[in-house]
């Protein structure tokens, strides 16, 4: 199956499978981050800690570039869901670590690669945003880093699907900026733009190719 990598080079299928090692390293990083979050929650300096769940939609896309050549594929829609801890520092400020399952990726129209078939890159991440929130009225401004750990990556084209996880880095660092609104009943609505700061390409046959994620996210949450 001809994939999106054709424009920059064919995928090298001869590399050894590193799935177990990558998964182990990802879980170590996630466990460390969760432990840090729990340590922060347990400190007495945070008198108000609220736990909650959230779910919504990702409108994901990517920027591909190499030696002056740039591609802006079509966006794709995916799910995002998980939990969060809201740590109120004062009446106006809070810190909110989150642990989310997030679907990202992009789509390429037929014709870009001399093919009439559409190509769909599906990437699933375990996402750990740590957002600082400034409250004014019922609204809040949000900003903070996001640490995304790659769980899977597949390309679908012409009814066939190919695993391409080894062609991407296991971690993506991003910056989240957003606006939220919280209701007294514990409901919340967030709109957030997540700009990928890292080059996620990790293919030996795509040396010099830079790929960055970019995502617009809308979620609804409920805190206990």
Q: What confidence tier does 170 reach under pLDDT thresholds 50, 70, 90?
A: very high
Res 116: pLDDT: 60
Contact 33, 147 (CB under 8 A): yes
Q: Residues 86, 47: contact at Cβ < 8 Å?
A: no
* Percent of the chain at pLDDT exceeding 90: 56
pLDDT for 25: 58
Mean pLDDT, the chain, as a whole number?
Answer: 82
Domain spans of the chain?
16-41+48-223
**Is it the case that residue 205 has pLDDT exceeding 60?**
yes
Written as six digits, the tokens of 114 are: 């001399």
Q: Is pLDDT at 12 greater than 50 in this prediction?
A: no
pLDDT reported for residue 115: 53
pLDDT, residue 29, reads 62
Predicted confidence band at 39 (pLDDT cuts at 50, 70, 90)? low
- For residues 75 and 59, give the distance between their C-alpha atoms in angstroms, rounded to a whole number: 6
Mean pLDDT for 187-201 is 96
Q: Please name the fold of domain 16-41+48-223.
A: Porin (2.40.160)
Highest mean pLDDT, choosing among 33-37, 87-91, 171-175: 171-175
Is pTM, for the whole model, over 0.75?
A: yes
In total, the chain counts a number of residues equal to 224
Point out the least confidently predicted range of 12-21, 44-53, 179-188: 12-21
CB atoms within 10 A of CB 170: 19
Q: What is the DSSP string of 57-92?
A: EEEEEEEEEETTEEE--B-EEEEEEEEEEEEE-SSS
Residue 167, pLDDT above cutoff 70: yes
Is the pLDDT assigned to residue 176 strictly greater than 50? yes
């Amino acid at each position: 199956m001809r994939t999106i990598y054709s424009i920059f080079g064919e995928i090298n299928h001869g590399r050894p499978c590193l799935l177990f090692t990558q998964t182990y390293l990802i879980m170590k990083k996630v466990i460390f981050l969760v432990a840090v979050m729990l340590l922060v929650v347990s400190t007495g300096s945070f008198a108000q800690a609220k736990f909650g769940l959230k779910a919504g939609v990702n409108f994901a896309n990517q920027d591909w570039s190499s030696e002056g050549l740039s591609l802006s594929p079509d966006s794709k829609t995916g799910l995002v869901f998980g939990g969060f801890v809201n740590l109120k520092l004062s009446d106006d400020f809070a810190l909110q670590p989150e642990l989310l399952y997030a679907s990202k990726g992009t789509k390429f129209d037929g014709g870009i690669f001399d093919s009439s078939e559409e190509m769909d890159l599906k990437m699933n991440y375990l996402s750990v945003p740590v957002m600082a929130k400034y409250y004014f009225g019922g609204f809040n401004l949000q900003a903070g880093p996001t640490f995304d750990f790659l769980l899977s990556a597949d390309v679908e084209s012409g009814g066939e699907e190919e695993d391409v996880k080894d062609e991407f880095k296991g971690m993506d660092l991003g910056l989240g900026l957003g606006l939220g609104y919280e209701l007294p009943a514990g409901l919340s609505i967030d709109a957030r733009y997540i700009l990928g700061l890292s080059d996620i390409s990790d293919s030996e046959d795509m040396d010099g190719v830079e790929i960055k994620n970019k995502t617009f996210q809308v979620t609804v949450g409920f805190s206990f």
